[in-house]
Amino acid sequence: MDWECCWSRDQIEPENCPYIGEGEEDLLVSQRRRIVEKCVECPRFKNDLARMKGSGYPLSDVLPYILTEFQEQKSQMGAMLSFLNSKTREIKFLREVGLVLQTSLDLDEVLSIAMTAITAGKGFGMNRAFLLMTDKDRRHIRGYLGVGPRDYEEAWRTWEDIGRSNFTLRQLARDFQKTKLNSEKVKFHDILNQLTVPLADQGHIFNRALLGKKPILVENALNNPDLDRGLARILGVDTFLVMPLISRNRRIGVIIADNCITHKPITLQDMQSLETFAFPVAFALERASLYERLQEEVAKQKAANVKLREQQELIVKMEKMALVGKITSSIAHSIRNPLMVIGGFARTLLKATPDQDEKRSYLESIVRETRQLEDVLSEVLDYSESLFPVTDFWDLNELVGKAMGELEGALEQAGVRCRMELAPELPMVRIDYKQISYCLKTITATALAAIEQGGELRIESVLDGDGVLLRVSDDGRPFTQTAQEALTAPFFQTQELGEGVGLSLCKSILERQGNSLSILSRPGGGNTYSIRLLTRKENI
């Protein structure tokens, strides 16, 4: 019998079989492989088998059965092989992702890896993914990050870029974190903003996925009566996957993934792969955000420590000041009595001395020097008294008005205008009224000394966080840095003994009450004295 197919021949020529393509030339000389790979599929071979039927060959009736069975087995084998291949790829991929996720403590890095893995062709190859996370109060689930193209052109560009590069997933993620993360956060801002859902809304698809701890594939979302149609409209697709992220029963968030560009169906296998992947992602996200919170706490603790140390230093300083105050007070008092006697008798003698007597100038010197010493003593005593303030709540603006009223004469004499800008309805400040008045007057007097005739003095009060700021600004010559420091160092002498004590006294009065004084000089001219007063109830 002449056979249509070439199966009976050991060797054939290329023109004998149209199914042998380029690169398969070895099949021409191997009958066995040719039959298994080509002939079983060949229609000519099937024709030959049909012709064989009833020809009397004993196997001719059985061969078609064997052939059909063989083909079936072969196609099953092929399917299993491709399944195995895809699983192997998936395991390899998951291993890579898992490795990175396990070692990362940086939230941004975890995000980059997770989102790259979902959207990269090397990963799950979804077109687009959104991550939603539960907020700190655990009240809402909020849109956090979206990854993917916004339109077809962008998608095409991105795919081309990725196709050209030969990056591993980790490299892709790193590249994403470095170059794209921030822009992606902004890119889907409009969509992410609309994705906020209260955790209490149990009927919402996100919460249904979280409660069921299973991914939900949403199809035909625009016409699904069980679904909020708004969600499909926001996303712009009617098929998407909602993947819950749960770590140790804690709801971390939700990933929404879709194929908004290619509209490729989301298969059961896609879903299962993503589900396997969701667990390490949830765990890594939780760990990274816990780590981030830990870092914040550590920073807070560090700041508190610094503050504590400052307070301790302040206490030590205040104790030293108190001791200085006590000593000076005791010395000053014991000097005052003899000084009074010296000066008093000098005055008595002066009264009884005729104008032309040459001793008169000596006596006048004694009187003058005694008076100066007494002035110094008064300031020193004021200083030591400043260490024991009596604080209460007062209206600062009223205090300013009163104190400046008392200084009207001095301002007029100096030819200086005073402009007041007092903020209305300030909270009461906790101060020693007399002492703060003293500070304001001392500062004004110091400022007046720096202003020239016709200059201006500005006094402002403003709300400043948990306190009130009182600013006195002049337009006079600026202090040098040394002068500034000197002016507020205790008992520093600028020109004459006594003059420098004023501001340093103010500073210690204010610090003693938990307030502060700072002086800022503008190089162009003018100084600003800022007093920060507390409104809080706690005493220092």
Partner 1 sequence: MAKLLVVDDEANIRLLYAQELSDEGYQVVTAGSALEAVEKLESESFDLAVIDIKLKNESGLELLQRIVKERHTIPVILCTAFSCYKDDFSAWLADGYVVKSSDLQELKDEISRVLAKRQRGAYV
Please, what is the minimum distance in Å from the beta carbon of residue 393 to partner 1?
19
Residues whose CB falls within 8 Å of the CB of residue 338, separated by 6 or more in sequence, listed in order: none
Q: Which of 119, 247, 259, 370 binds partner 1 (CB under 8 A)?
A: 370
For 429, the token pair is: 């400040």
Is residue 371 a contact residue for partner 1 (CB under 8 A)? yes
322 to each of 251, 319, 380, 448, how far by Cα in Å?
57, 5, 13, 30
Please, what is the minimum distance in Å from the beta carbon of residue 540 to partner 1?
21
Is residue 326 a contact residue for partner 1 (CB under 8 A)? no
167 to each of 73, 114, 183, 262, how far by Cα in Å?
38, 16, 21, 23
> What is the 3-state secondary structure of 429-462?
EEECHHHHHHHHHHHHHHHHHHCCCCCEEEEEEE
- Nearest to partner 1 of 170, 336 (CB atom): 336
Q: Choose one: 32-40, 212-220, 367-375, 468-476; the region binding partner 1 (CB under 8 A).
A: 367-375
Is residue 342 a contact residue for partner 1 (CB under 8 A)? yes
Is residue 346 a contact residue for partner 1 (CB under 8 A)? yes
- What gap in Å lies between CA 533 and CA 521, rounded to an integer? 21
Please, what is the minimum distance in Å from the beta carbon of residue 348 to partner 1?
6
- Nearest to partner 1 of 37, 382 (CB atom): 382
- What gap in Å lies between CA 363 and CA 346, rounded to an integer? 6
- Nearest to partner 1 of 16, 330 (CB atom): 330
Q: Which of 367, 400, 447, 448 binds partner 1 (CB under 8 A)?
A: 367
- Nearest to partner 1 of 131, 367 (CB atom): 367
Is residue 374 a contact residue for partner 1 (CB under 8 A)? yes
Q: Choose one: 235-243, 346-354, 415-423, 531-539; the region binding partner 1 (CB under 8 A).
A: 346-354
Q: Which residues of 433-453 are buried (b: 16+ CB within 10 A; e: fewer)?
A: bebbbbbbbbbbebbbebbee
What does residue 345 show for φ and ψ, rounded to 5 degrees? -70, -35
Q: Choose one: 280-288, 310-318, 331-339, 357-365; the region binding partner 1 (CB under 8 A).
A: 331-339
Is residue 348 a contact residue for partner 1 (CB under 8 A)? yes
> Positive or negative CA dihedral for 225, 213, 181, 116?
negative
Q: Which of 70, 156, 345, 393 binds partner 1 (CB under 8 A)?
A: 345
Contact track, partner 1, 377-396, x by CB under 8 A: -x--xx--x----x------
Could you tell me the maximum CA-CA distance found in the chain, to the nearest angstrom? 170
Q: Choose one: 87-95, 368-376, 412-420, 506-514; the region binding partner 1 (CB under 8 A).
A: 368-376
417 to each of 313, 453, 457, 475, how far by Cα in Å?
41, 9, 6, 11
Is residue 330 a contact residue for partner 1 (CB under 8 A)? no
Please, what is the minimum distance in Å from the beta carbon of residue 339 to partner 1?
6
> Quick one: which of 207, 206, 241 has its CA closest to 221?
241
Which is it for strands 456-464 and 417-422: parallel, antiparallel or unpaired? parallel
Q: Which of 32, 136, 164, 351 binds partner 1 (CB under 8 A)?
A: 351
Is residue 376 a contact residue for partner 1 (CB under 8 A)? no
Please, what is the minimum distance in Å from the beta carbon of residue 329 to partner 1?
9
Q: Choose one: 84-92, 104-112, 341-349, 456-464; the region binding partner 1 (CB under 8 A).
A: 341-349
Listing DSSP states for 161-183 in one string gives HHHH----HHHHHHHHHHHTHHH
Please, what is the minimum distance in Å from the beta carbon of residue 498 to partner 1?
16
Is residue 24 a contact residue for partner 1 (CB under 8 A)? no
Is residue 339 a contact residue for partner 1 (CB under 8 A)? yes
Which is it for strands 467-474 and 527-534: parallel, antiparallel or unpaired? antiparallel
- Nearest to partner 1 of 30, 334 (CB atom): 334
> Quick one: which of 94, 88, 200, 95 has its CA closest to 138?
200
Determine the size of the site formed for partner 1 (CB under 8 A). Answer: 24
- Nearest to partner 1 of 290, 327 (CB atom): 327
**What SS3 state is found at 129?**
strand
- Nearest to partner 1 of 61, 406 (CB atom): 406
Q: Which of 333, 402, 522, 536 binds partner 1 (CB under 8 A)?
A: 333
- Nearest to partner 1 of 341, 449 (CB atom): 341
Please, what is the minimum distance in Å from the beta carbon of residue 349 to partner 1?
10
Is residue 364 a contact residue for partner 1 (CB under 8 A)? no
- Nearest to partner 1 of 229, 371 (CB atom): 371
Contact track, partner 1, 204-243, x by CB under 8 A: ----------------------------------------
- What gap in Å lies between CA 176 and CA 158, rounded to an integer? 12
List the Cα angle 394/395/397 in 5-degree steps: 140
For 154, the token pair is: 């962008």
Residue type, 193: N
Q: How many CB atoms lie within 10 A of CB 43?
A: 10
Q: Which of 29, 62, 340, 428 binds partner 1 (CB under 8 A)?
A: 340
- DSSP secondary structure code for residue 237 in this structure: -
- What gap in Å lies between CA 498 and CA 491, rounded to an integer? 8
Structural contact between residues 391 and 539, judged by C-beta atoms closer than 8 angstroms: yes
Contacts to partner 1 by CB under 8 A:
333, 336-348, 351, 367, 370-371, 374, 378, 381-382, 385, 390
